[in-house]
Amino acid sequence: MSHNTMNLKLKVWRQKNANTTGAFKTYEVNDISDEMSFLEMLDVLNEKLIVTGDEPIAFDHDCREGICGMCSLYIDGKPHGPWQANTTCQLHMRAFKDGDTITIEPWRSNAFPIVKDLTVDRGAFDRIIQAGGYVSVNTGNAVDGNSLPIEKAKADESFAAAMCIGCGACVAACKNSSAMLFLSAKVSHLALLPQGEPERKSRVLNMVAQMDKEGFGSCTNTGACEAACPKEISIANIARLNKEYLRAGLTAE
């Protein structure tokens, strides 16, 4: 329970809104406890900025327990910072040491335009889901939940893909700004379940088309997305998506 404090230098991207150009600004924060979360450290800085009449740094966050997918931040050259399988909100200052300079950038992708400072617009992800990331079943249509047994291994694999929190770290990590890990997680989640079967082909074709329209790049299988994913979504899902796409494309009418 012993804890240390540290003094840090932060290089933070500041940008007033989508229409202006931004630049890095350097801040110093002192007496940061290593028990703080990274976002709490930014809270401390923001409190200081507000009181001294500066504008606080805008960054997205909500649940602060690693599940809502709202927090982002590209910290020292990695989405969600140095820890593995972790979101920024769960990153704690123990990961840093006294005297460190930390560079904080927003997710960079033309498909994620900057709203302000470190906040970006990830609406593209919602539009990709709108293109087919669902099962078309109206409320009240369902049959009994146990009427259709599902192989446990497949259900588990589907769940592993469905764990995606839609944070966009995969896009931020990818040198091509590709959204394929996000997209493939949804396609896999539904393709592995019998409920997803009837729309299996149209789903993958439409979702890929929407992804292209949103301005994401192509996947070149570098694996950066998987390494940065806070939920460790497997890149095997991308291969599965490719298979689904090929199958759907070749057998289309």
- In the list 29, 64, 100, 200, the residue contacting another protein (rule: CB under 8 A) is 64
29 binding another protein? (CB under 8 A): no
Amino acid at 51: V
β pairing state of 101-105 and 5-14: parallel
Nearer to another protein by Cβ, of 99 and 109: the residue is: 109
- In the list 73, 90, 96, 230, the residue contacting another protein (rule: CB under 8 A) is 90
98 binding another protein? (CB under 8 A): no
> For 182, how many CA atoms within 13 A lie in the half-sphere containing its CB?
28
β pairing state of 74-75 and 78-79: antiparallel
Q: What is the dihedral of CA 180, 105, 175, 243, to 10 degrees?
A: -10
- In the list 14, 29, 37, 200, the residue contacting another protein (rule: CB under 8 A) is 37
Contact 172, 179 (CB under 8 A): no
- In the list 14, 100, 129, 200, the residue contacting another protein (rule: CB under 8 A) is 129
56 binding another protein? (CB under 8 A): yes
Minimal distance, residue 227 CB to another protein, in Å: 3
- In the list 116, 118, 182, 230, the residue contacting another protein (rule: CB under 8 A) is 116
6 binding another protein? (CB under 8 A): no
100 binding another protein? (CB under 8 A): no
Q: What share of the chain is helix, strand, coil (3-state, %, to 5)?
A: 40, 15, 45
Q: Binding to another protein (CB under 8 A): which residues in 210-229?
A: 211-212, 215-228
Overall residue count recorded for the chain in this entry? 253
- In the list 14, 78, 100, 200, the residue contacting another protein (rule: CB under 8 A) is 78
Residue 171 tokens, joined: 């896009």
Q: Which of 62, 99, 66, 98 is nearest to 81 (CA)?
A: 66
CA angle centred on 114, ends 183 and 59, rounded to 5°: 95
- In the list 92, 118, 181, 182, the residue contacting another protein (rule: CB under 8 A) is 92
165 binding another protein? (CB under 8 A): yes
244 binding another protein? (CB under 8 A): yes
Mark residues 170-209: x for contact with another protein by CB under 8 A, - for none: --xx-xxxx----------xx--x-xx--------x--xx
Q: Which residues make Cβ contacts (< 8 Å) with residue 40, sequence separation at least 6? A: none
